[in-house]
Homo-oligomer: A and B are copies of this chain.
Amino acid sequence: MILQGVEWKVRKGEHWVILGANGSGKSTLLNVFNAFIAPTEGRLFAFGREYGEDDWNEVKEGIGYVGSEVNRMIEPGESGLDVVVSGARAMINFWGETNPKEQRAARSILRRLGCLALEKRYWRQASQGERQKLLFGRALMAKPKVLFLDEPCAGLDPVARSSYLEFMESNASRPRSPSLVLVTHHVEEITPSFTHALLLSEGRVVASGIKDEVLTSKNLSIAFGSRIRLRRRAHSYGVTVLE
């Protein structure tokens, strides 16, 4: 998938959702920001620094990422606290000397996230919903300015999903939260604190900007190449595919 003419800016205090069909370029966009793949054309900036010009490893420290790849790499015997601590140095699994300062920071994150009960639980004992929360906490350890959440509710049962969405919303609404960027297939997962939306189709931007201006039946129908009706309830969205 090649991204073409994608102009996208995330400003402080904004929370974005990225929507698009399978193969629209969502994953490519995430991979570019995580520097898993390098842009061959175009320019990529983060926090005023440019990819190729600056040390992107330093820039990357401002960008957190929660995705299923990380999930699969955690050892079953790591405790919840270990998982969070390991995020301090962008390492997976924590084998080094325990650092009391990092442990305190991790515990404070667990407390803030309402996940202190997971501190001593082994990764293998944690439910899928609990794991997603731990990975969120792990990403916070590096104090990111932007936190990408790649389909965090995939595979969660309805109750675990509902609990995760509440968790995400309460984090997004904190004044000092990093900007969240939620990549999802489900408009039902766009909680009220999300301010902006980016709609991709075949590597191009269909619409980008304020959530309520971007999320319309017309734009979604263009993005997904099929007639879609977007329903708005009080604070949430739903879609119906019409053809």
Instruction: Give A20 Cβ to nearest chain B Cβ, in Å.
Output: 7
Do A158 and B23 touch across chains, with their CB atoms under 8 A apart? no
Contacting residues, chain B, for A23 (C-beta < 8 A): 127-128
Within 8 A of B (CB), among A80-132: 127-129
B224-A22 in contact (CB<8A): no
| Contacting pair B22 A128 (CB below 8 A) | yes
Q: Is A162 an interface residue (CB 8 A)?
A: yes
Contact A224 B154 (CB under 8 A): no
Known contacts A22-B127, A23-B127, A127-B23; A185/B162 CB under 8 A: no
A21-B160, A22-B129 given; name 13 further pairs at CB < 8 Å.
Answer: A22-B127, A22-B156, A22-B160, A23-B127, A151-B155, A154-B154, A155-B185, A157-B224, A158-B185, A158-B228, A158-B241, A159-B225, A162-B241
Which A residues contact B (CB, under 8 angstroms)?
20-23, 127-129, 151, 154-162, 185-187, 224-226, 228, 239, 241
